[in-house]
Amino acid sequence: MAAASGSLFNKSLVSIKDLDKKTIEQVLLESNKMLELCNGAGHSDILKGKIMATLFFEPSTRTRLSFESAMHKLGGSVIGFSDPSHTSSAKGESLADTVKIVSAYANLLVIRHPMEGAINEALKSAGVPIINAGDGTGQHPTQALYDLFTIKQEKGTLSGLDVALVGDLKHGRTIHSLAYGLALFGSNLTLISPAQLRMPEQMVAELKDNYGITVKQSESLDPALSADVVYIPRMQKERFSDPKEYERFAAYYVINNKFMDKAAEKTIIMSPLPRTVEIHPEIDGLKNAAYFRQAAYGIPVRMAILKMILSKD
Ligand code: NCD
């Protein structure tokens, strides 16, 4: 089953790069309608009779629960697992076989897996669309879609902004997806990381060469002080081969009152969450702290995606 471009109906969503600008705009528009629905009646039955399966081979709170909540709000049903040690994969079943079997039980699979590229593998045996809910250090397209939705809500536009992507740019799949989404809409990127955790070179080259945006790299956090958006996920502990290396970088950048005192008034702080030490709770009460609003937008945006994949109208 091919990935999406144009309409999302009956398509899989593996990478943000599968989506053209028009399709992302449609998702954002539909998300607005879903936000209205959430704030009004709160639910509908447009996906009544449809079943979504969540296959989570890695930990998750927001992604799995917001997908499940989104499906329930649209009248659909949910099956799935969040602990693969209780499934046949613990007996040695391949991902391909699991996906083939569950395709007969559900209309859509939402899969999170520790291996980059796992979803492309899964697609080969899938009989229904798959949404990539994070594949190792690869992609996390639905996170990027609600990150974009959040930026649009907060800033009124997705083009011409200065966005600082901060921290573990090597392993962060949310960063990898969001960078392409922002580039597509013409926002400029400042990539802030220690030298050891830079964004993969081929990705930087692609962003620089193919999108006509400015891409700067910095080890210092200073350029973030004047950015429109500072996006700072946690250091991705589970992706470090050397735990000492993680300890060294965990608090390399910290957004706290000291940072916010110097930052521009317009600067908003975003994170896919969970946070560890990189965003101090002392800034939670500031209007610039957008990460909890961002997490809440996961619901309407995932409702929009589910509706667009599972329903023709
Ligand atoms: C992110 C992920 O799993 O990639 N979490 C999420 O989906 N909101 C980011 C992270 O774990 O740091």
150, 237, 273: residue to mutate for ligand 1 pocket, most atoms within 8 A of CB? 273
Q: Please tell me the distance from the alpha carbon of residue 184 to that of residue 199, in angstroms, as a whole number.
A: 18
User: In this predicted structure, what is the pLDDT of residue 5?
Assistant: 54
Q: Which residues of the chain have pLDDT under 70?
A: 1-6
272 close to ligand 1 (CB < 6 Angstrom): yes
171 close to ligand 1 (CB < 6 Angstrom): no
* Gap from CA of 272 to ligand 1 centroid (Å): 6
* Gap from CA of 302 to ligand 1 centroid (Å): 15
- Retrieve residue 178's tokens: 């969001």
Tell me whether residue 48 is exposed, middle or buried, using C-beta atoms within 10 angstroms of its C-beta: 0 to 12, 13 to 18, 19 or more: exposed
Q: In what order do the strands lie in the sheet with 188-192?
A: 215-218, 188-192, 162-166, 229-231, 268-270
User: In this predicted structure, what is the pLDDT of residue 313?
Assistant: 76
CB atoms within 10 A of CB 242: 8
Contact between residue 178 and residue 185 where contact means Cβ atoms under 8 Å apart:
no
Q: Mark whether 17 is an active-site residue.
A: no
Q: DSSP characters for 176-197? A: HHHHHHHHHTT-EEEEE--GGG
User: In this predicted structure, what is the pLDDT of residue 90?
Assistant: 86
275 close to ligand 1 (CB < 6 Angstrom): no
Q: Mark whether 216 is an active-site residue.
A: no
Q: DSSP characters for 238-289? A: GG-S-HHHHHHHTTSS-B-HHHHHHS-TT-EEE--S--SSSB-GGGTTSTTB
* Gap from CA of 99 to ligand 1 centroid (Å): 23
* Gap from CA of 205 to ligand 1 centroid (Å): 24
